[in-house]
Structure 1
Amino acid sequence: MLELLVCALFTIVPDYLYRRYGQGKRLGKEITLYSVWFELRWGIVTCFMLTVGLITVIFYNHPSTTSATIFFRSVPIVPEINGRVAEVHVGYSQAVEKGTPLFTLDSSTQRAAAESARRKIVEADAALVVAKADILADEGKIQEAKSALQQALDELETKRELRQRNSGTVAEREIERLENLVTGREAAVFSATASKDAAQAKIVTLLPAERASAEAALAQAEAELQKTVIRAGFAGRVEQFALRAGDVVNPFMRPAGTIIPAEAGRVGLQAGFGQIEAQVIKVGMVAEATCVSKPWTVIPLVVTGVQDFIAAGQIRSGEQLIDAQQVARPGTILTYLEPLHPGGLDGVMPGSSCIANAYTSNHDVIAAKDTGTLRRIVLHAVDAVGLVHALLLRIQAQVLPIKTLVLSGH
């Protein structure tokens, strides 16, 4: 309607003023419905064509959409392990800081594993003490075996000397017995020495390895024990947290609840513009929006990103082929908009539906020296008609509460 009125100012209105005041024709006499159509048919047709052209120029160069939303991500609260809830630390809806405990799982199994690992460490330390005592005992056995060996050697030497002096004094069998005794006592020395070396090796290698394994098992058990306390990974707000003690949670099938990051929905909004505006929407364009959760307010924005793909065309490999007719609705161009000024989205709730406009600016092209005069005039006109869309957005912002509360029937 606004475009029609603007075009009428250049076609129908001047023609009517000329008929009424220039030719002196009277309304209701010479100027009737038939005479208006007959005399102003060229103006009416021209007005209609200008209106269509103006609407096309405005909507193409200054795109608008009602599919604008402040999207935000909700993160599921999922534990790393399965378990039964033992205690819940937060309420149904509550703000939490990073590291705040949310709930605790039953940790009896993990505590038992940690205690078993501690016992293993104590056992390894006790075995180390015993091994040191065994070394002392082995040293005593070695000394005893060496003394017995020396005694047998001395006795054997004495008997051999006596036999050399008088062969009939000492029997040959006695010499053989002493030689066998020396051999046995040498073996006893070797056995005691080997026992000491084994105990020494146990102290140096085996027992430290067993203690290290027990410490690693304790660290693993304590890590598993820490997993039973589920904490917030970031600052945010827990919403609709209906978890209660006794519930069973599973990291794959049964998440515990949902937490929304504190910065979610506070950065910008996302708008879906029609595919026809693919060549118009560029990063850096100025935009405006008005949201349902904050009526009567126009928020200045800037385009910070344009998605290179249209979601309606995505396919997922499966057992059936995709038919193009299955795409019932054409997709839109997802555009990322951020406030032009800090705090521009204050008061707008995340998830709110919005109406957004983007405005084309040809200032750089117009200011270029190689731009022709006619093209400058056309580009000036294209930029100027953006005022119509800006005015329409402000009208929508004013009537949005009335449309929502009255005309929608709620």
Structure 2
Amino acid sequence: MLELLLCSSLTLLPDFLYRRFVQGKRLGREITLYSVWYELRYGIVGCLLLTVLLITTIFYFHPSTRNAISYFRTIPILPEKMGRVEEVFVGLNERVTTGQKLFTLDASDEEAELETAKKRVAEVDAAIVLAGKQLKVAEAQVIEARSAYQQAVDELATRTEIRARNADTVSQREIERLQNIVDGRLGGVAAAEASVEAARAQIDVSLPAQKETALASLKLAEVELQKMTISASMDGSMEQFTLRPGDFVNPMIRPAGLLIPSSAGTLAIHAGFGQIESQVIRPGMAAEVVCQSKPFQIIPMVVTDVQHFIASGQLRPTELLVDPSQNVPPGTLIVMLEPMFEGGMEGITPGSNCIANAYTSNHERLQDPSLGSLQRFGLHAIDTVGMVHAILLRIQALVMPIQTLVLKGH
């Protein structure tokens, strides 16, 4: 209607003024209800054509949409393991901070695992002490074996020297027996030294590895025990949190509640514009929104991102072929709008439905000296007609409460 009134002032009104004051034709005489088409046909046709052209220009270069929502993320409160609720620390709709405890589950099994892991660490520590004692025993056995070996060597040397002086004094059989004893004592020395190396290897390699394994099991048990205490991952408000001690929680069935972040719905608005406007909307464009939760406030916004795909075209492979004729209605171009000034969305309820306008600006293109006069006029005209959409948005902001409360009865 606003476009029609504007165009009629440029076409129909001049045509009427010409008929009235130049040709002398008067309303109710020459210009009647039956002759208005014949008398004002040029103005009427021009008005209709200019109105269609203006509406097309406005809606293409300055798109508008009612599909704008301040989306926000909800965080389901889910424990990593199922269990029975033991204690609840917060209530419904209570505000929480990062790291604050929400509730705990029965941790009898996890506490037992933790105690077992601690005993395993203590057991390995005791084994390390015992291995140290065994090392000292093995070292003493090496000294003893070397002493016995040296004694056998000395005995063999003495008997060999005596036989060399007098062969009848010591028999060859005795010399062979002593040689076997020396060989046996030498093997005993090697065995004792091997026991020392084994004890050292156990102290330096085996037992430390066992202790690392026991410590890892202890850490795992501590982590599993910590999982029994569920804490808030960020600042926010608890919603639908009705847990009570004794309730059984299963993460595969339903969450224990929802955590709404404090910054939910205050950072950006996602608007769905028509696909035909994908050639116009670009990051950096100025925009305005008005939301139902705050109808009399126009919020200056800026386009920060444009989604480069349409949600209605997504495909999930199934056992059936996809028929485009059975597809959902054409999807929209998702555009992210952020407040132009800090705190611009204060007072807007998260999830509120909004009306959004985006405005094309040719200011940078108009700085090009190579543009012709006709091009400059066209770009100026495109930027100027955006005021019509801005006025319409403000009218919508004024009548929004009447439409919602009176006409729709909501």
Structure 1 length as normaliser, TM-score?
A: 0.86
1:23-102 alignment runs, 5 A limit? 27-102=27-102
Per-residue CA deviations over 1:90-112 (Å, capped at 9, x if unaligned) read 22223322222222232222222
Aligned to 2:321: 321
**Any unmatched runs of 5+ in structure 1?**
none
Contact 2:85/2:249 (8 A) holds in 1: yes
Q: Secondary structure at the match of 2:35?
A: helix
The range that moved more, 3-12 or 285-294, is 3-12
Pair 47,218 (structure 1): closer, same or farther in 2 beyond 3 Å: same
Residue 231 of structure 1 deviates from its aligned partner by 2.4
Aligned to 1:240: 240
The range that moved more, 174-183 or 48-57, is 174-183
Aligned to 2:225: 225
1:1-400 alignment runs, 5 A limit? 1-20=1-20, 27-138=27-138, 195-400=195-400
Residue 368 of structure 1 deviates from its aligned partner by 2.2
Q: Matches of 1:289 and 1:355 in 2, distance apart?
A: 5
Percent identity between the two aligned chains: 56
Pair 295,176 (structure 1): closer, same or farther in 2 beyond 3 Å: same
Residue 221 of structure 1 deviates from its aligned partner by 1.4
Q: Matches of 1:24 and 1:166 in 2, distance apart?
A: 170
Q: Matches of 1:188 and 1:328 in 2, distance apart?
A: 89
* Superposition RMSD in Å: 3.3
| Paired amino acid for 1:286 | A
Contact 2:13/2:43 (8 A) holds in 1: no
| Paired amino acid for 2:347 | G
Give the count of matched residue pairs.
410
The range that moved more, 70-79 or 247-256, is 247-256
Residue 84 of structure 1 deviates from its aligned partner by 3.2
Residue 354 of structure 1 deviates from its aligned partner by 0.6
Pair 123,370 (structure 1): closer, same or farther in 2 beyond 3 Å: same
Residue 88 of structure 1 deviates from its aligned partner by 2.5
| Paired amino acid for 1:329 | P
The range that moved more, 28-37 or 302-311, is 28-37
Pair 62,182 (structure 1): closer, same or farther in 2 beyond 3 Å: closer
Structure 2 length as normaliser, TM-score?
A: 0.86
**Any unmatched runs of 5+ in structure 2?**
none
Residue 287 of structure 1 deviates from its aligned partner by 1.1
The range that moved more, 155-164 or 336-345, is 155-164
Pair 304,138 (structure 1): closer, same or farther in 2 beyond 3 Å: closer
Pair 166,254 (structure 1): closer, same or farther in 2 beyond 3 Å: same
| Paired amino acid for 1:57 | T
Q: Matches of 2:197 and 2:299 in 1, distance apart?
A: 84
Q: Matches of 1:193 and 1:371 in 2, distance apart?
A: 98
Pair 295,201 (structure 1): closer, same or farther in 2 beyond 3 Å: same
Residue 396 of structure 1 deviates from its aligned partner by 0.3
Pair 148,273 (structure 1): closer, same or farther in 2 beyond 3 Å: closer
Q: Secondary structure at the match of 1:34?
A: coil
Pair 188,379 (structure 1): closer, same or farther in 2 beyond 3 Å: closer
Q: Secondary structure at the match of 1:397?
A: helix
Pair 364,167 (structure 1): closer, same or farther in 2 beyond 3 Å: closer
Q: Matches of 1:185 and 1:96 in 2, distance apart?
A: 77
Contact 2:15/2:42 (8 A) holds in 1: no
Per-residue CA deviations over 1:332-354 (Å, capped at 9, x if unaligned) read 11111111211111111221111
Q: Matches of 1:105 and 1:336 in 2, distance apart?
A: 41
Q: Secondary structure at the match of 1:81?
A: coil
Residue 89 of structure 1 deviates from its aligned partner by 2.5
The range that moved more, 20-29 or 234-243, is 20-29
Pair 123,20 (structure 1): closer, same or farther in 2 beyond 3 Å: same
Q: Secondary structure at the match of 2:238?
A: strand
| Paired amino acid for 2:362 | N
